């Protein structure tokens, strides 16, 4: 019997258990994270080791440094996570891991670790799509939440509007044609000399600024599709700042931050509401690092409330990359018998094509 056919049988047994415990591993970018989660929704142990301090001086994530740090951190981090949850390796029913999209070297560390554990413990291995993980963070934050809903996934690498028809059933309605929303935040912050990551810093400064100070472009806002484009907005902000500098004109960074943020948020809110109305969805779910943004939460909350739509978002901790969301997504894959074999690979551009 091969490992994979053994595991296919094992899944049937696991499905009948009252308690299913999954280890989730996430290493797709600059966070090394592991979590043990019971029955998909109850977090028993959770550790996140952020590499932000390491990458700060370069103004963004350096892939090679990220991979090396993941290797250093992953094994002790898993031990600490299990200890925190009062779990031993023998208690694990399955291992779930992000296998894409992301930085290939970073992903490989998680994938290799998960494969070794799954093989060594003779338990199922589940490859998880990173975006599916971000969406699933909401199942942990809101125990009653279930599909169908519209999800706006906005992070450093993604800006997607997705119709989640059921667990694991996704229809991508629109996505960014160039920069992701978080990427635009990070680049504007770098231009303003504010540091990395830019999102939280701009979010904070914007609270003290005038959002109507400059009317930056709202790309695609009136177009009938659901795609985003943030590259032109980014260029407009950078050109505006260069112009002011050339004229020796002073400005308040808070006003630029607030005006830029307002342009991003208006586009995101507009498209999300359009999607929810077109599909007649009653629930909207925010996910990804940018889901922590206070203006996005407030303005989308307001627009949803006016239309009788319920809005869900995770805590800031669960918005960023983490192992708990991967364990949760892995649970729902496992329950459908959708497991991986030991040939599972890191796929930097993995498509979310599991409808």
- Residues lying near Zn ion in the complex (CB under 5 A) are found at 155, 321
Q: Strand order in 21-26's β-sheet?
A: 42-50, 31-38, 21-26, 94-100, 125-129
What does 151 bind: Zn ion, ligand KG4, none (CB cut-off 5 to 8 Å by kind)?
none
Nearest to 198 by CA among 208, 209, 189: 189
Instruction: Please give the Cα distance from 274 to 179 (Å, whole number).
Output: 21
Of the two residues 20 and 51, which places its CB atom closer to ligand KG4 in the complex?
51
Of the two residues 30 and 93, which places its CB atom closer to ligand KG4 in the complex?
30
Minimum Å distance from CB 226 to ligand KG4?
A: 20
Instruction: Please give the Cα distance from 96 to 115 (Å, whole number).
Output: 9
Of the two residues 132 and 321, which places its CB atom closer to Zn ion in the complex?
321
Q: Strand order in 283-287's β-sheet?
A: 169-175, 159-166, 149-154, 283-287, 310-312
Minimum Å distance from CB 178 to ligand KG4?
A: 15
Residues in touch with ligand KG4 (CB under 6 A): 29, 155-157, 182, 185-186, 197-200, 203, 288-290, 292-293, 320-321
Nearest to 201 by CA among 136, 123, 268, 294: 294
Of the two residues 51 and 113, which places its CB atom closer to ligand KG4 in the complex?
51
CB 235 within 8 A of CB 218: no
Nearest to 262 by CA among 301, 313, 300, 296: 296
Question: What is the DSSP annotation of 51-95?
Answer: -HHHHHTTTS--HHHHHHHHHHHHHHHHHHHHHHHT--GGG--EE
Minimum Å distance from CB 187 to ligand KG4?
A: 9
CB 225 within 8 A of CB 174: yes
What does 309 bind: Zn ion, ligand KG4, none (CB cut-off 5 to 8 Å by kind)?
none
Residue 37: strand pairing partners: 22, 43
Minimum Å distance from CB 54 to ligand KG4?
A: 15
What does 329 bind: Zn ion, ligand KG4, none (CB cut-off 5 to 8 Å by kind)?
none
Minimum Å distance from CB 216 to Zn ion?
A: 25
Minimum Å distance from CB 29 to Zn ion?
A: 6
What does 292 bind: ligand KG4, Zn ion, none (CB cut-off 5 to 8 Å by kind)?
ligand KG4
Of the two residues 76 and 316, which places its CB atom closer to ligand KG4 in the complex?
316
What does 197 bind: ligand KG4, Zn ion, none (CB cut-off 5 to 8 Å by kind)?
ligand KG4
Minimum Å distance from CB 120 to Zn ion?
A: 28
Minimum Å distance from CB 73 to Zn ion?
A: 18
Rounded to 10 degrees, what is the CA torsion of 241, 244, 246, 249? -140
Neighbours of 221 (CB within 10 A): 15
Nearest to 185 by CA among 281, 273, 271, 257: 257
What does 132 bind: Zn ion, ligand KG4, none (CB cut-off 5 to 8 Å by kind)?
none
Of the two residues 99 and 320, which places its CB atom closer to ligand KG4 in the complex?
320
Of the two residues 94 and 103, which places its CB atom closer to ligand KG4 in the complex?
103
What does 40 bind: ligand KG4, Zn ion, none (CB cut-off 5 to 8 Å by kind)?
none
Of the two residues 28 and 81, which places its CB atom closer to ligand KG4 in the complex?
28
What does 127 bind: Zn ion, ligand KG4, none (CB cut-off 5 to 8 Å by kind)?
none
Buried b (16+ CB within 10 A) or exposed e, 265-289: bbbbbbbbbbbbeeeebebbbbbbb
**Could you say which DSSP state residue 264 is in?**
H
Minimum Å distance from CB 290 to ligand KG4?
A: 4
Of the two residues 126 and 287, which places its CB atom closer to ligand KG4 in the complex?
287
Neighbours of 233 (CB within 10 A): 24
Neighbours of 88 (CB within 10 A): 9
């Amino acid at each position: 019997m091969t490992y994979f056919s053994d595991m296919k049988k094992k899944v049937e047994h696991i499905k009948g258990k009252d308690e299913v415990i999954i280890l989730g591993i996430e290493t797709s970018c600059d966070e090394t994270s592991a979590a043990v989660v019971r029955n998909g929704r109850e977090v028993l142990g959770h550790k996140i080791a952020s590499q932000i301090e390491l990458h700060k001086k370069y103004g963004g994530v350096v892939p090679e440094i990220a991979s090396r740090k993941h290797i250093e951190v992953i094994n002790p981090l898993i031990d600490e996570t299990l200890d925190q949850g009062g779990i031993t390796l023998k208690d694990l029913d399955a291992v779930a891991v992000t296998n894409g999209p992301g930085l290939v070297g970073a992903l490989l560390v998680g994938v290799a670790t998960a494969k070794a554990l799954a093989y060594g413990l003779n338990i199922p291995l589940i490859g998880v799509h990173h975006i599916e993980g971000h969406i699933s963070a909401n199942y942990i934050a809101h125990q009653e939440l279930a599909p169908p809903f519209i999800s706006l996934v906005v992070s450093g690498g993604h800006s997607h509007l997705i119709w989640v028809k059921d667990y694991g059933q996704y229809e991508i309605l629109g996505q960014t044609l160039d920069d992701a929303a978080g990427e635009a935040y990070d680049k504007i912050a770098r231009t303003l000399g504010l540091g990395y990551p830019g999102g939280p810093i701009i979010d904070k400064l914007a609270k003290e600024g005038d959002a109507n100070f400059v009317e930056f472009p709202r790309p695609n806002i009136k177009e009938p599709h659901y795609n985003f484009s943030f590259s032109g907005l980014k260029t407009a902000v950078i050109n505006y700042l260069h112009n002011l500098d050339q004229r020796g004109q002073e400005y308040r960074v808070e006003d630029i931050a607030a005006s830029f943020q307002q342009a991003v948020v208006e586009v995101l809110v507009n498209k999300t509401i359009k999607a929810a109305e077109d599909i007649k969805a009653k629930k909207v779910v925010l996910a990804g690092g940018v889901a922590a943004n206070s203006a996005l939460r407030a303005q989308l909350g307001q627009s949803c409330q006016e239309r009788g739509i319920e809005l869900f978002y995770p805590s800031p901790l669960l918005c960023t990359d983490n192992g708990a969301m991967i364990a949760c997504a892995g649970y729902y894959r496992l329950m459908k018998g959708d497991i991986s074999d030991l040939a599972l690979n890191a796929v930097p551009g993995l498509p979310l094509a599991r409808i």
